[in-house]
Amino acid sequence: MAGPDLALLLSALAMLLLRAVGLLVAGALRPEHPLVAWAAAVSQATLAAFVALAVAAPGGAAASVPLTARLAGLGAGLLAWWAGRGRLLPALLAGLAALVAVRGFG
C-alpha cells in the first residue's frame, strides 16, 4: 500500500476512534452533566478559533485571498444575516459575493 493510502487508512480509523470514545464516555450522561457542558464548550471554542484563523491567517490556497477581501466577505455575510433575521443562505451568498467583488478590485 502506498504512503498516502496508508496515511488515509490510519487517519480514517483514528477518526472513528475519536468519535467512538466521545460516544462511549458520554454513556448515559444527561445534557446538563459538567463533562458534556465542558465538551460542548471545547467544541464551540474550536469552531470559533477555526473561523478566526480562516479569516485572519488562513493556510494553503485560501491565503491567496487578500485580508481585505476576507474581512469584506465576513462583514457582508454577517450584515446580511442580521438584516435577513438569521436566514443563512442569502447571508452566505452575500458574503461570498462581497469577497469576490473586493478581490476583483484589489
* Window 2-61: residues binding another protein (CB under 8 A): 3-8, 10-12, 14-16, 18-23, 25-31, 33-61
Least distance to another protein from the beta carbon of 64, Å?
Answer: 5
Kindly determine how many residues on this chain lie close enough to bind another protein according to the rule CB under 8 A.
76
Are the C-beta atoms of residues 76 and 69 closer than 8 Å to each other? no
Q: What is the DSSP letter of 58?
A: -
Q: Select the residue interacting with another protein from 67, 71, 83, 89 (CB under 8 A).
A: 89
Are the C-beta atoms of residues 73 and 95 closer than 8 Å to each other? yes
